[in-house]
Chain A
Amino acid sequence: MSGVSVGIRSLSKSLGGRVVLRAIHLDVAAGEWLALVGPSGSGKTTLLRLIAGLDRPEGGEILFDGCDAASIPPRHRDVGMVFQDLALWPYLSVHDHLSEVGGDAAGELVERFGLTGLERMRPHELSGGEQQRLALARAVARSPRLLLLDEPFSSLDPVLRRALAGTLRELQREREITTIYVSHYFETPVLNASRVALLCQGRIEQAGTVAELRENPKSEWVSAFFADEAEVDS
């Protein structure tokens, strides 16, 4: 099954009296890999949570394949998500995590994400990298049509980050899953994205390919962000 197209129309959200998202407009094509980049507090996680249906927007709408998703509960949105804190279930083993979500596909996922031999372990017995791999494997276990990744590699070393990013990219291409990858800086998965959307203070400042953004920044903030964030995994 291929990915879903996502349309975001005038999406607004406030948290604790503070406006986090201001009338966001964004389109993500089916099977596209979009990177959502912005500084801390710019509203990236909030936007992901709204798309997943975990929070409700105050205004605007989210369209899945052109249909309003407001009435679809999270469990029926066909969305996989890697949370910033991973949200692994402390009392379930690696195998239980994957079989609860993916059923018979658990064995294949264990192999694919390099978790062989760790099946009986629980999250607190895994290393940071293994926990990340488990979170990724769980997110794709149900073959979702949309994958939301909230800074999934933030705590990994560059070598592990590249390896996992490669696995993820391979899987995304193979299954044509629409993917939204959130990061606060320009790392490899962002540079490999088909498009990048820059989020600043709850607004999409500019969206386009990395080359477009670099060559034609629409604002001083975008050019400054590129100047400051020219960091690339090496």
Chain B
Amino acid sequence: MTRAFGLLLLLPLAGFALEAISGSGEFVFPARAWGLTLAGAASTAALSIAVGVPAGWFLAGGGPVRSLAALPLLLPTLLAAACWMALGLPIPGLFGCAVIHGAVYWPVVALAVGAALARIPRPHLDAADLQLSRTQILRLVVWPHARRPLLAAAGIVFLLSASEFTVPATFAVPTLSVVIYERLSAFQFAAAAWAGLPMILAALAFAIWVRRIPLIPKAGAARFPRTPALTAGAWVIATAAWILSFGLPVALFVNRAGTLSAVLSVWADFGVSIVWSAGVAAAVAAILVTWSSLSARRSAMEPLWLAALFLPGIVPALGLAALSGRLGLPLWFMDSGALLALALMSRFAAVAWLPLRDAVERSHIEAGELSGMSRARIWRKIVLPAALPKALAAGAIVFFLALAEIGPAVLLSPPGRQTVALHLFNWMHYGYDETVASLSLMLVGTVGAVWSLVHVGCFRRNPIAV
């Protein structure tokens, strides 16, 4: 059952591939779009490394700041773009988009580097301290531990930036995801699919490599000793990055949104849309978390689910739209929001799956099986209590990602039922005003709630551990 659902989540990608093979429209290689995409993504990755490495050094010390670092990462790129507009800066080109992406994605590098440094066994460092210089320690002990997580994090940032749709679409920079959307709008399905197919292969290859590298910091005190001077420098960079990428946008939105009653009034105007979006996002989160916790073991399909996370959101949307057209699905089904929910589930399956697949020790489940407990009882008595904190955190993150996602919403929102993020995205094309600020504040508030659940689920030490 869980395997069948896992296969269902791959339908959108299968539809995309099918469209590339047999869809309408001619194949024209979008060389310029590829060039812009690669250059922009490389710039974002470089910026994230420049900020994330010192911030990671600082985060290796542990403490509550580690979870605070996740806040900018939760901020949707849409809000980072709104912040750019709020500052009254000129319309950004390719590298402006890279700066916006970097402001959102630097915590990926910081958290990965921080986790890697915190995991260096203290005896290794003690032994090195006795016999090696500081440079040798960095080269021989620290770097080998940090190298792979750093590369993995940089790769993740590169792919996330390359596949990002909202920022380049807002500022009319013709990157690959924008070109795919434009071709789709012109009903050149095959051309759109071909444009993105190499990205699917790259994302898949990367997903296979990256899934074994631990990126989420382990709870508990870090053991990594740091020199005060370097740590002070790292603190300055981390704090500045955090203020610029999270504190500043929030302050700008609060300033522009006006009084509380004005903010509430805007929210009321979009009430139906907010409720509709939240309902879809909650359904997506609940289904994915339940599915992941029921499976609770590794799967050969993991790289495919992970690859979907690194692809433009319009890729699964396009695949699903084309597939439903081929299958001749009834109109009421297309209008029900089920397609949108499936595209969102396909895109964010890995976010729910990866934290939950190892939430329970395999031997605990095996002990239950040998004790004659039924599957339902094992899930209720053994899996659920152990997985609950991570399930809450994963569910909250999926909920928010689904709420703020633009790509699938652009293509698959039923008539008259736009998501709130899509409203915000459309509204931003008219400029930055009180409505944009108020809707942004609503998403920021959701970020806060999500962060609280993530904090409980991922960063706090689990008191119950044998």
Contact = CB atoms under 8 A, between A and B. Distances in A.
How many A residues are at the interface, by size bracket? 20 to 34
Contact of A131 (B367, B465, B466): B466
A38 interface: no
Contacts of B370: 52, 54, 74-75, 77, 79-81
Contacts of B364: 87-90
Interface string A45-83: 000000010100000000000000000011111011101
Contacts of A133: none
Contacts of B372: 75-76, 101, 142
A87 to B, nearest CB: 4
B212 to A, nearest CB: 13
B366 A138 contact: no
B329 interface: no
Contact of A100 (B369, B373, B464): B373
B300 to A, nearest CB: 15
B363 interface: yes
B371 A101 contact: yes
A43 B51 CA distance: 48
Contact of A87 (B367, B374, B381): B367
Most chain A CB neighbours (cut-off 10 Å) among B368, B369, B374, B382: B369
A92 B464 contact: no
B70 to A, nearest CB: 26
Contacts of A142: 371-372
Given A75-B372, A89-B381, A124 B466 contact: yes
A145 B371 CA distance: 12
B373 A124 contact: no
Q: Is the interface of B mostly helix, strand, loop or mixed?
A: helix
A52 B466 CA distance: 24
Contacts of B382: 89, 91-92
A91 B382 CA distance: 7
Interface in A106-123: 122-123
B220 interface: no
A220 interface: no
Contacts of A81: 367, 370
A100 B381 contact: yes
Most chain A CB neighbours (cut-off 10 Å) among B373, B381, B463: B381
A81 B368 CA distance: 10
A86 B371 contact: no
B214 interface: no
A74 B366 contact: yes
Interface in B354-409: 361, 363-364, 366-374, 377, 381-382, 385-386
B363 A138 contact: no
B466 A123 contact: yes
A85 interface: yes
Interface string A117-144: 0000011100000010000001001100
B466 A86 contact: yes
A97 B33 CA distance: 60
A87 B464 contact: no
Interface string B432-466: 00000000000000000000000000000001111
A124 B465 CA distance: 6
B457 to A, nearest CB: 15
Nearest to A83: B363
Contact of B367 (A73, A83, A96): A83
22 contacts: A54-B369, A74-B366, A74-B369, A75-B370, A75-B374, A76-B372, A81-B367, A81-B370, A87-B366, A87-B367, A88-B367, A89-B381, A90-B364, A90-B386, A90-B464, A91-B381, A91-B382, A91-B385, A91-B386, A100-B377, A131-B466, A138-B367
Given A124-B465, A131-B466, A142-B371, 19 more contacts: A75-B369, A77-B370, A81-B367, A85-B363, A87-B367, A89-B368, A89-B381, A89-B382, A90-B385, A90-B466, A91-B385, A91-B386, A92-B381, A92-B382, A100-B373, A100-B381, A124-B466, A138-B367, A142-B372
Instruction: State the 9 A-B residue pairs at the shortest beta-carbon distance, nearest first.
Output: A91-B385, A87-B363, A101-B371, A87-B367, A74-B369, A90-B464, A123-B466, A75-B372, A75-B369
